[in-house]
Amino acid sequence: MKQILIFFLVALSTQVYGQAVLDAERFSIDKNELKQTIKVLASDSMEGRLTGTLGQMKAARYIAGEFAKYGLSEAGDNGYFDDFKLVQYYRGETYLKTARNRKLDDFQETACMSREPIDEETELELVFGGNGTLEDLEQINVKNRMVLVFTKNLRSAYHIKAALEKRKAAGLILANPYNDKQFESIRRTFKNFMTRKRYTFADSEQLENNSIGFVEFIIPNMQIRHLMKMSARDLNQLIETKAIADCPVNTVRVKCERIVNRTTGRNVIGMLKGTSDTSIYIMAHYDHLGTDGRFYFRGSDDNASGVASMLELAKLFSGIPDLKYNLIFLATTGEEVGELGAKYQVKRADFEPGKVLINLNIDMVGRIDSQHIGKKAYLYSLGTDTQPKLAALFEKVDQRVPECSFDYTFNNSHDLTGYYMRSDQYQFYEKGIPAVMFFSGLHKDYHKPTDTPEKINYPLLQNRIFLIGQVILTLQRNESFSLEREQVQATHR
């Protein structure tokens, strides 16, 4: 590997810039530096790097220190830092109470499947809606009432919810009397998703509406009698005889508290100045998932590996004189909670998309996915599919680096269900900027506390960084290179 790097740097210094031979030792991709960076970012002191926390701020200071060490210019509003105000919100006390004051706690005796807040305990009438068919709902008055409905599939009741919302019901309670194990599956698989902390910008209108919206709960079968004062068998008899209107109207008390906190996101930005006013953005998100109360989510691959790669590239190119394009190194926060750091960057009043040649985002590049075990070293490249010139450039780079090749399996920027729209470069893409994501695929430790530093494949990571570096070098060397601006229709996810 070191011989390849020496050749690369000698060629760069003599053929491109006409400078003396560079010090190859100084610019080599150091495996020990990669290990140290990932070890620091994944350490207990960083507390999982959740957006808006002390751990995130510690990580930001570490990255800024590395930028300073490599001589990058400060490019944020406050030195290397670019802060923005956020609102963090998450579920507080949430429950159903029966008419006899039996409390069903969230993700224990019930599961609240909606995000609509009801901050104060509210009493509502409860009626039985049979199987939720149009015929059943025609028999009863559901307006401003909670409606309990039987279904054979608790995961697919969208049509029932839509029908009740159209009739201005207050909410839906689902039960599956035909499969008593389905509730437990729902409770186990959806708990973290429904109760996790979410974020929005402080000036967003997302939290402005304080009115009570439509709420949805799922209950296990043992709770049907407590809520309806009738057994599931008797209620099914009402369905069969088309007499669900004969079920007595009950009451239920509902609370779905929303906790709201003000916090701060922080991007870290450094720059290597070029001779033009056009920039290449090299980006990696440094935030992760924080803690589950027992363990920290280390995020060694996601995305300490991307940050370590970005820092190595900053070190490599900081010693190269007379760069044509500015290299802007951007460490974003808030990627895990909605790509907020990248959104903030492209929505700034002083951001000029026309002066950005390309965005290169490095997100999870330290592991091997199941499709490549025992195969040649690879790196997924996503986002060159709509740019013939860019695709040709990547193919040219591919031919130069036999140790690691690009894999274009997921290279479909228009696939709104794929990986491309799930990381920060998508925010640049929506501004019409050519944007590429570098990625090595998912693995069994993805978004788990077991994503730890010793599982990173460091020799492979070195090769991947070298491959990305060749892309940047080739972009710098192309005197007349330009990319088309794609007209992109904004997608709200």
Neighbouring CB atoms inside 10 A of 348's CB total 11
DSSP 35-99: HHHHHHHTSGGGTT-BTTSHHHHHHHHHHHHHHHHTTPEE-SSBTTEEEEEEEEEEEEEEEEE-T
| Structure token digits, residue 313 | 């590239």
> What per-residue confidence (pLDDT) applies to 210?
52
How large is the average pLDDT for residues 67-83?
97
Name the residue ranges covered by the structural domains of the chain. Answer: 2-71+273-477, 89-260
> What per-residue confidence (pLDDT) applies to 1?
45
Q: Which residue has the tokens 């190859």?
A: 24
**Contact predicate 436/381, CB 8 Å:** yes
> What per-residue confidence (pLDDT) applies to 24?
35
Amino acid, res. 43: S
The CATH code of domain 2-71+273-477 reads 3.40.630.10
Q: What is the DSSP letter of 153?
A: -
| Structure token digits, residue 73 | 């210019």
- Map residue 264 onto helix, strand or coil: strand
> What per-residue confidence (pLDDT) applies to 193?
87
**pLDDT, tens digit, for every residue of 308-319?**
999 999 999 998
Smallest Cα–Cα separation from 306: which of 421, 174, 451? Answer: 451
Strands (E), 273-355: 279-285, 326-332
Q: Which residue has the tokens 């439509």?
A: 214
**Contact predicate 175/232, CB 8 Å:** yes
Q: Say if residue 240 is exposed, middle or buried (CB neighbours under 10 Å; 0-12, 13-18, 19+).
A: exposed
Specify the range with the lowest mean pLDDT, choosing from 21-35, 174-188, 380-394: 21-35
**pLDDT, tens digit, for every residue of 398-449?**
998 898 999 999 998 888 778 999 999 999 999 999 999 999 999 999 999 9
> What per-residue confidence (pLDDT) applies to 15?
41
pLDDT band at 480; cut points 50, 70, 90: low
> What per-residue confidence (pLDDT) applies to 486?
61
Amino acid, res. 65: G
> What per-residue confidence (pLDDT) applies to 14?
38
How large is the average pLDDT for residues 136-160?
95
Instruction: Report the distance separating Cα 438 and Cα 361, nearest Å.
Output: 6
How large is the average pLDDT for residues 297-305?
98
> What per-residue confidence (pLDDT) applies to 415?
81
The continuous run of DSSP H or E covering 270 comes out as strand 250-272
Neighbouring CB atoms inside 10 A of 410's CB total 18
- Map residue 331 onto helix, strand or coil: strand
Instruction: Report the distance separating Cα 70 and Cα 393, nearest Å.
Output: 28
Instruction: Report the distance separating Cα 188 and Cα 299, nearest Å.
Output: 23
DSSP 358-405: EEEEE---SS--GGGTTS--EEEEES-TT-HHHHHHHHHHHHH-TT-E
pLDDT band at 207; cut points 50, 70, 90: low
Asked if residue 150 has pLDDT above 80, the reply is yes
Whether this model's pTM surpasses 0.85: no
- What is the percentage of the chain residues whose pLDDT exceeds 70? 90
| Structure token digits, residue 102 | 């039996």
Q: Which residue has the tokens 């903030």?
A: 344
Specify the range with the lowest mean pLDDT, choosing from 18-22, 102-106, 362-366: 18-22
Asked if residue 61 has pLDDT above 60, the reply is yes
CATH number among 3.30.920.30, 3.50.30.30, 3.90.550.10, 3.30.56.10, domain 89-260: 3.50.30.30
pLDDT band at 5; cut points 50, 70, 90: very low
Instruction: Report the distance separating Cα 205 and Cα 217, nearest Å.
Output: 26
> What per-residue confidence (pLDDT) applies to 250?
97
Between helix 458-477 and helix 305-318 the angle, nearest 10°, is 50
**pLDDT, tens digit, for every residue of 367-394?**
999 999 999 999 999 999 988 899 999 9
**pLDDT, tens digit, for every residue of 240-289?**
999 999 999 999 999 999 999 999 999 999 999 999 999 999 999 999 99
Instruction: Report the distance separating Cα 409 and Cα 412, nearest Å.
Output: 8
